[in-house]
């Protein structure tokens, strides 16, 4: 088993609600998360809940030179692993502090990619993070989030003018990718 997968399983056993899935995302899900983006328009982006970096890898592969990625990962060991693997990104602990952490004020992000397990969070925490994301994005900015259900559709529709959902069967568990435009 690949080292990242073993660490991920260990972290899920320790904190199942925070980690939210037994395995890291598949390559197919990581590709889907990054495939509907006009990368030429992305100068500053954030990734929330990066885990062992499957999606981080795809984002950094696509981002143009001179652009910046803020990575949020609450688990210290996974965050330190990401810092070693992808030193070009800027690291933070908690997605709840998104706006403060990026330090550039409202409307400064072009895109946010989320692997956060929203359905494991209580309603207040869910709303707090979605509001932080919405305030951090510029007009026309995009939130791309994966979940294992369509439960977040109504919440995202409360904040974003357009919400599209695609099903990705090649993942365990199969996932839904939400693309939300501000």
* Binding residues vs ligand SAM (CB under 6 A): 18-21, 24-25, 48-51, 54-55, 72-75, 78, 94-96, 115-117
- Least distance in Å: CB of 161 to ligand SAM? 25
Question: Closest CB to ligand SAM among 36 and 162?
Answer: 36
* Cα angle: 90, vertex 54, 48; to 5 degrees: 45
**15 vs 162, beta carbon nearer ligand SAM:** 15
Instruction: Tell me the closest approach of the beta carbon of residue 67 to ligand SAM, in angstroms.
Output: 19
Query: Under 8 Å CB-to-CB from 122, ≥6 apart: which residues?
Result: none
Residue 20 beta carbon to ligand SAM: minimum distance, rounded to whole angstroms: 4
Residue with smaller CB distance to ligand SAM, 25 or 44:
25
* Rounded Cα gap, residues 135 and 58, in angstroms: 25
CB 125, min distance to ligand SAM, A: 8
- Residue number with CB closer to ligand SAM (61 or 161): 61
Give the residues across from 180 on adjacent strands. Answer: 143, 163
Pairwise CA distance, residues 160 & 144, whole Å: 12
* Torsion 61-81-168-68 (CA) sign: negative
Question: What gap in Å lies between CA 23 and CA 117, rounded to an integer?
Answer: 13
Please state the closest distance from residue 60 (CB atom) to ligand SAM, in A: 13
The Cβ of residue 145 has, within 10 Å, a number of other Cβ atoms equal to: 24
Nearer to ligand SAM, 27 or 162 (CB): 27
């Amino acid at each position: 088993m690949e080292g990242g997968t073993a660490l991920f399983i260990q972290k899920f056993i320790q904190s199942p609600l925070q980690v939210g899935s037994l395995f890291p995302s598949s390559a197919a899900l990581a590709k889907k998360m990054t495939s509907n983006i006009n990368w030429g328009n992305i100068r500053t982006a954030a990734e929330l809940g990066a885990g062992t970096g499957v999606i981080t890898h795809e984002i950094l592969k696509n981002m143009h030179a001179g652009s910046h990625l803020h990575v949020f990962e609450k688990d210290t060991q996974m965050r330190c692993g990401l810092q070693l693997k992808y030193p070009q990104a800027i690291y933070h602990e908690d997605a709840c502090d998104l706006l403060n952490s990026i330090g550039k004020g409202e409307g400064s992000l072009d895109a946010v990619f989320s692997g956060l397990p929203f359905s494991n969070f209580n309603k207040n925490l869910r709303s707090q993070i979605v509001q932080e994301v919405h305030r951090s994005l510029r007009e026309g900015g995009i939130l791309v989030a994966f979940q294992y259900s369509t439960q977040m559709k109504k919440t995202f529709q409360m904040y974003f003018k357009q919400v599209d959902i695609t099903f990705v069967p090649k993942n365990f568990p199969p996932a839904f990718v939400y693309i939300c435009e501000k």
